[in-house]
Amino acid sequence: MARPSPRVRMPLILVADDSVETQELYAEYFKTCGFNVDVASDGREALRKARTRRPDIIVMDLQMPHLDGWGAISELRNRPETAIIPVIVLTGHDFKNELKPAALAAGACSFVTKPVIPDHLLREIQMRLAQQARPPASA
């Protein structure tokens, strides 16, 4: 009798955004694509969930109450247990393309502006997860 193949753990995406509509839109879409998804409504909750749930990637809004995305990214990068989690900034407030360089310098791996088609964000997530999975090139 053939043994069942072991279940593969699907990556966990943490969506941190104070907009319930944004949380629901992306969470439902990512779930239909087979991902595990958790949500956070502010930076403090995102930090707590990042430490306890260890998501494979975080999609983070910059403007949130209590602790904004800037502060949350800084805290993530300063903690050994969360420092390597890739963060994709998802914001609707980069009218002059000034925030992208600052977000990347702060520790985000990618920057996407709202509104974005969920499939485009999914491709960005898949690309970043694939980069994480690749072993570093030998020197």
pLDDT digits (tens, 9 = 90+) for 80-110: 999 999 999 999 876 667 889 999 999 999 9
pTM (two decimals): 0.89
Instruction: Provide the mean pLDDT of the chain.
Output: 90
pLDDT of residue 1: 47
pLDDT of residue 7: 62
pLDDT of 3 strictly over 60: no
For 43, what's the count of Cα atoms within 13 Å in the CB-facing half-sphere? 18
Which pLDDT band, with edges at 50, 70 and 90, does 139 fall under? very low
In this predicted model, which residue has the larger pLDDT, 59 or 133? Answer: 59
